[in-house]
Amino acid sequence: MRSSFPWRSGAAALALASSGTCGFAQADFYEGRQIAMIVSSAPGGGYDAVARTVARHIRKHIPGGPAVVVQNMGGTGGLVAANYVYNISSRDGLSIAQLQNTVPFEPLLGNKQARYDPTKFHLLGSPSRETALMMVWHDSKIMTLEDTQKNEVILAATGASSTPAFYTRLFVDLFGMKVKLISGYKGQNEQFLGMERGENEGCASTFWSSLKLIRPQWISENKLRYLFQYGYEPDPELPNVPFALDLLKNRPDDAKLLELASAPLSLGRPFAAPPGVPEDKLVILKKAFMATFADKEFLAECGKQGIDCNSPASGDDLQKIVNDSYAAPKATIERLQKVFSSNL
């Protein structure tokens, strides 16, 4: 903005000059460089699709327009990538990550494989919140949640500490489900292929947004049966699917447990930078993510692909969710840790 006065004070002029110098300095830093975007899941899933879409648009919101290269680093429910970004990746603003939304809560669960302090990650933003589904294949003998209390259901997961395995154990605790868990799938695509082949009957933590993105035909062809949904709030696109918290209205301790366990879904698809990144780079990256989430071309591509990008959250908003979770009642945290460490 131009001053309406014909003069400026020395302090104001110095501030303006400093601001301009800083802007040019950051453009010089990023110009001709490459940002590595580490994705904590295998190619082909929902996280991967969101990351690649963001990568195609965010460079125009970063001074200097650096190239953004996506690198998949799946494994151990996102911990391989999280440990790498936290402990090994560069701290100069040229390494960022899309973390699986359970990653900031792994230390809260007592997971010894999580070699990081989640409060020292720099959360940068997320394009959406998530709704998860407990779902089974259409020809399963399981018709309702009540059926899982009487008959064993075969569910799929990647590893023992993965999101699907954790939520399976949680629902066994909350609802008394009878489950046989098959773990070891490489990623979501492999879990879905196993479902089609009859190796498993379903999954306890499929994101609605992922399902619309990578298996939209399953929805239109009624290939799935949704037992319940859970997350920040009921999804308006699923009006006939029970909301898990509503099933626990008369069980306040169980409801608190589910609320804490569902906190990752409020993070959506979070992006983060490692500790030690200079503050001026963090400011640029945070602004760039929020500008990308509001970018009309980005939103148009999200719509074309069926990606949910309609409820963005800032890095500060995400950090508050993490901090509030770590401040939960001790008894609730201890119970959640017990569920995490339990076996089926």
What string of DSSP letters covers 105-144?
A: GHHHHT-TT--S-GGGSEEEEES---EEEEEEETTSS--S
The answer to whether 31 touches 65, Cβ cutoff 8 Å, is yes
CA–chain centroid gap for 212, Å, is: 16
Instruction: Report domain 131-264+333-341's class.
Output: alpha beta
Domain pair 14-129+268-327 / 131-264+333-341, same fold: yes
Express each pLDDT in 10-30 by its tens digit. 443 334 344 444 444 556 899
CATH architecture of 14-129+268-327: 3-Layer(aba) Sandwich (3.40)
Tell me the CA distances in angstroms from 144 to 149, 216, 229, one per residue in order. 9, 22, 12
Q: What is the mean pLDDT of each run of 10 residues along the chain (344 residues)?
A: 33 40 63 96 88 97 97 90 96 96 91 92 95 97 97 93 89 98 90 96 93 92 98 93 96 96 94 97 97 98 89 93 93 94 84
The pLDDT score that the predictor gives to residue 27 is 61
Could you give the CA distance from residue 20 to residue 248 in angstroms, rounded to a whole number?
Answer: 56
Rounded to 10 degrees, the C-alpha dihedral 303/122/262/295 comes to -10
The answer to whether 183 touches 158, Cβ cutoff 8 Å, is yes
The predicted model scores a pTM of 0.77
Enumerate the domain spans of the chain: 14-129+268-327, 131-264+333-341
Express each pLDDT in 264-316 by its tens digit. 999 999 999 999 999 999 999 999 999 999 999 999 999 998 888 988 999 99
93 CB neighbour count, 10 Å cutoff: 22
Could you give the CA distance from residue 166 to residue 231 in angstroms, rounded to a whole number?
Answer: 15
43 CB neighbour count, 10 Å cutoff: 15
